[in-house]
Amino acid sequence: MDRTIGLLGGGQLGQMLCEAANPLGIKFVILDAENSPAKQVNAKNSHIDGSFTDEDKILELAREVDILTVEIEHVNTYILEKIAMEGVEVVGQDGKRRTKKVEVQPSWRTIRTIQDKFLQKKHFISNGVSTVPSKDVESNSDALHAIGQEYGYPFMLKAKKDAYDGRGQYRSTNWAIAESY
């Protein structure tokens, strides 16, 4: 493969991706904190230190690669949308500015959908995928009590956004208690 892939996030999944790609000669440029796991197994390539939510850093990465992908969904989908729709401005060796097309995979739309777990669930339901019952609920005790009355106790209260690996999940054993799970 003669195209370079930009990876937003260099955690454990990025590390495994790079380990699989190295024997195939696939080049990755990773945007994440210095010494992230993926950067350690992909040390032969240059990388960008910074946050995979930082618009300027994502643009810097996009200028160096042909394809952008993610290893975590907590990225800035608005800049990914802009890159996918408009490309990025680069300066050629001749000093002239041009627009470079960069492929974004998975699409920014897909990433934006999976960033909101309730929106993701609605998407599944609209496409015929069975899910457990759920409700969009405001964070107040009356709403939680109504959920408990409808579904029974205990139930799980889950954050719509920025939750993963058990973070943002709470077990409610009665209307007044929501315990960190």
Phi and psi dihedrals of 116, rounded to 5? -110, 105
Contacts 24+ apart (CB under 8 A), 83-86: 83/58, 83/59, 84/108
Structure confidence by residue, pLDDT tens digits, 73-87: 999 999 999 999 999
Query: Residue 60, class by beta-carbon neighbours within 10 Å (0-12 exposed, 13-18 middle, 19+ buried)?
Result: middle
Provide the pLDDT for residue 181: 44
Q: pLDDT truncated to tens, each residue of the chain (181 aa)?
A: 589 999 999 999 999 999 999 899 999 999 999 889 998 888 788 899 999 999 999 999 999 999 999 999 999 999 999 999 999 999 988 999 999 999 999 999 999 999 998 999 999 999 999 998 888 887 666 777 788 888 888 888 888 888 777 788 888 887 555 554 4
Phi and psi dihedrals of 62, rounded to 5? -60, -35
Give the tokens for residue 145.
Answer: 């009590």
Residue among 102, 74, 97, 69 nearest 86 (CA)? 102
134 contact partners, CB below 8 Å, separation of at least 6 = 118, 121
In eight-state DSSP terms, residue 137 is -
The pTM of this model reads: 0.82
Structure confidence by residue, pLDDT tens digits, 143-162: 777 888 888 888 888 888 88
